[in-house]
Each structure stands twice: as structure tokens, then as C-alpha cells.
Amino acid sequence: MAAPQIIEADVTWTGHRFEPSIQVVTSNGLVERLGALGLVPTKKLSGKALLPGMVNVHSHAFQRGLRGSGDLFSDGSGNFWSWREAMYKLASELDAEKFAHLCRQAFSEMLTAGITTVGEFHYLHHSGSEENYAMDAAIVRAAQDVGIRLVLLSAFYNTGGVNKPLSENQQQFKTDSVEAYWDQWDELCSHLDENTQTLGVAAHSVRAASLADISQLHRDACRRKLPFHMHVEEQRKEVEEFRADFGRTPMSMLTQELDVSANFTAVHCTHTSAEDMEQFLAAGGNVCICPLTEANLGDGIPATPDIVAAGGRVCIGTDSNSRISFSEELRWLEYVQRLHQEKRGVLVGETGNVARNLFEMATVNGARSLNVQSGEISPGFNADFVTLDLTAPELRGADPDTLLEAFIFGCGNSVIADRCVAGRWL
């Protein structure tokens, strides 16, 4: 457990702005109190700004292994489905050791990018023909090795398409039943570090689980007060096929059949209709958008401005980890909409401030989705921080009133100077 600290940076993000002369007192891995307390700091961060660490809601760490090769197109071009074949091939080549290696790579890069919490949406449970869950324990250890906070969203996966059996190359993802899911889930609890690791629940998608199983898992998650995550409507084709077969969209089925509330995070929603989205948001659901991955995969342009205008909670994921940079994710979430609408300042939200709204997505909203007490520097919250190097060339000229804008719109990962998880500086 990290020793008590009194931290003082040149400026500290207090939720609405950067303030000077703030001391942050931490103990037992938590923020105890903060303010202009007149205390002598035990950790002085000169030339730096202190911010809450960012929260990455949706990652498949092993897909880091496709960086580079995933953008070679032997047939000239490709689409989501041809990319999925390459991803299945990678998965088939991984044993627990190779898998853990890729997880450590991805998690390290996330810390470099200022991400201190990752929601790992984990469905690659088996190695080759092995029935054991060696990959599950490997991912928990990888996060411990690297020091990042982990919310392991263990994913239920047992159909190969709507009402279809698993294909050969999907056997590695297999969960036998909801009962088997919970047995493995409870077993995993014993592997966790209590200060930095928790578990959540995921159903992969309507492609990979029946409505009955999704409903059961969701009820169980609510009863246990756990976050529930699911891929929803990433590809136009899956929405159209589902509607043709069942007369309603995946999202309308979910909102009609499940008791959606604030613990539900729908990932992507690239092709969700306005009407379905309205229902989902009214029920309290969160939407996780993954700008870099959705762009890399050619998913399409989501109706993010409508979600924000309706007061919906958008959070952010690095998903396929083809490039890991949260400032880049945030600016392009906004930029894609600027290009689409031909105006500037689209995702303004309630604050009237784009950068602040984007940063809340990367912190407060992400923490809400994953049910972790992170994402803000407040008493009782995790002592999860990052610092910006105020002497970095990219930030030259910024003052406290423009620092957040300069970071989000002007910088890469290199301005992130320090990371702290549960009071431990990494």
C-alpha cells in the first residue's frame, strides 16, 4: 500500500478548471482531501499539471498484435469482416504467454498515453484446443505487472452468429453456459489485486449470445451491482440482417427486453437509430465510442452530437489498440463531427466547453461506465493521476485557461510526464 502523500503541482484540475497552489493529500491509495491547505508538499511536481488519470472503457488488448499487419490489404482493400478474419487468425496463434505479452504491451502504452484504468473486454478465454481459462488469469497478471487499474469485463460468448453455432475459429471464445460463466467469474475473483482490480460482466453481442442468456447475465449483473457491457450495432450489415430476421433492431430488442439502467454500456452504437438511442439514453445507458478503431475498421460515423445533446453519457475506448492515444481519440471524436457538420465546436454539451466535455468523457463518464471511483480528483476517489509536462514544446504558450484545449487538440502522448495508480507512481 502506497505511503501517505501531499502532492502539489503548478496547477491541478479540480473538475472545472486548472487551479494553482492546490495540495492533494492521499492515503491508502485514495484521495483524502484537497485544496489550498497550506501544507508542505511531500511530492512537489514543478513545471507540471496534475489531472485525473484517464479511463479507457473498452479494450481488446491482444489485438495490439495486429498493429501494422492489420493495415495490409492483400485483396487491395477490405472491411470489418475481412479484418475479423485476420483477428481470428491472430487469436488462433496465441497461447497464454504470447497473449500476456501483448497485454503487457498494450497496457504499458496505455499508461504512456495517460490512461490509468482499462476496461478489458475479454473474450479470448482459451488457448488452442485447451478448455482451461489460462488467458483469464494471464490478463489479470499482465495488468498487475504493468501497474494499470483493471476492470476485467469477462465476456460471455457462445454463438457464432444469431442462432448459429460457433465456427471452428470461434471455439477459443467459448463459454459453455451462464452457470459456467459465473463459476469462472467467481474463480477469477481470487486472482485479483483488491486495490486495483475489479470484475464486470459482458455479453459479447447479439451475434455471440442468445437473448435468453443476455437477459440472464444482465439480471445477474444488476443483482450483483456490476457494470454490464456489450457491443451494439457497430456494423450496418449486422443491424440490417437482424432486423430482416426479427423485425426489430438489436438495440430495440435490448431496450424492450432488458431493464436497462445506468450500469449498461453499449459499445459503438455506430448505426443505432435516433429512436432507439432515445430509449436507451432515457433508461440511463452509457455509450462507449472508440474513434480510432471505428475509423480504422471503417464502421461509419456515429450520431454522437445527438447523444451529447440528449445528455447521454459518452465514454471512450481504445478497442483494437491499433494506435493508443487518448488525446487523439478525443479530438477525432469531435473532428469527425466537425467534418460531417461543417462547423466547429460540435460536442459542447452542458458545460458549453468542448475540451472540458471531451475530458469528462475520458474520465468521469468512463469511471461511471466501469463503476470505479476514479476519473476525478475528489475525496474518497482513487489516487489515480497523470501529469502534463508544462515545459513540453507542444504545450508552449498554453495558460491555465487554454491548457486543456492545448492538450486535447494539440498533443500526443509525449506531454504525459507521470502516472500514478492507487497512490503508486509508476
- Contact positions toward a copy of itself, by CB under 8 A? 64-65, 67-73, 76-80, 82-83, 105, 108-109, 112, 236, 292, 294-301, 322-325, 328, 331-332, 335-336, 338-346, 348, 352-355, 393-394, 396-398, 401-403, 405-406, 408-414
Closest to 340 (Cα-Cα) out of 299, 300, 397: 300
Residues 6+ apart with CB under 8 A from 131: none
Q: At its nearest, how many Å lie between a copy of itself and the CB of residue 41?
A: 27
Q: 58, 268, 299, 384: which one is catalytic? A: 268
Interatomic CA distance for residues 304 and 88, integer angstroms: 30
Q: At its nearest, how many Å lie between a copy of itself and the CB of residue 70?
A: 8
Q: At its nearest, how many Å lie between a copy of itself and the CB of residue 91?
A: 15
Closer residue to a copy of itself in complex, CB, 41/300: 300
Pairing of strands 416-421, 424-425: antiparallel
Interatomic CA distance for residues 75 and 330, integer angstroms: 32
Closer residue to a copy of itself in complex, CB, 125/356: 356
In this structure, are residues 200 and 153 in contact, taking their beta carbons and an 8 Å threshold? yes
Q: 10, 136, 276, 319: which one is catalytic? A: 319
Closest to 287 (Cα-Cα) out of 240, 232, 222, 349: 232
Question: Cell match 501497474: residue?
Answer: 147
Closer residue to a copy of itself in complex, CB, 29/400: 400
**Hey, what's the cell of 206?**
447479439
Question: What single-letter DSSP state applies at residue 149?
Answer: E
Residues 6+ apart with CB under 8 A from 349: 308, 357, 360
Q: At its nearest, how many Å lie between a copy of itself and the CB of residue 242?
A: 17
Closer residue to a copy of itself in complex, CB, 54/253: 54
Closer residue to a copy of itself in complex, CB, 71/187: 71
User: Is 245 tagged catalytic?
Assistant: no
Interatomic CA distance for residues 181 and 253, integer angstroms: 23
Closer residue to a copy of itself in complex, CB, 364/404: 404
Q: At its nearest, how many Å lie between a copy of itself and the CB of residue 396?
A: 6
**Hey, what's the cell of 405?**
484545449
Residues 6+ apart with CB under 8 A from 121: 58, 59, 60, 153, 155, 202, 229, 267
Q: Quick count: other Cβ atoms within 10 Å of Cβ 336?
A: 18
In this structure, are residues 418 and 386 in contact, taking their beta carbons and an 8 Å threshold? yes
Q: At its nearest, how many Å lie between a copy of itself and the CB of residue 328?
A: 7
Interatomic CA distance for residues 360 and 342, integer angstroms: 24
Closer residue to a copy of itself in complex, CB, 122/331: 331
Alpha helices (H) along 116-168: 134-146
User: Is 60 tagged catalytic?
Assistant: no
Q: At its nearest, how many Å lie between a copy of itself and the CB of residue 116?
A: 17
- The residues annotated with a catalytic role in the active site are 268, 319
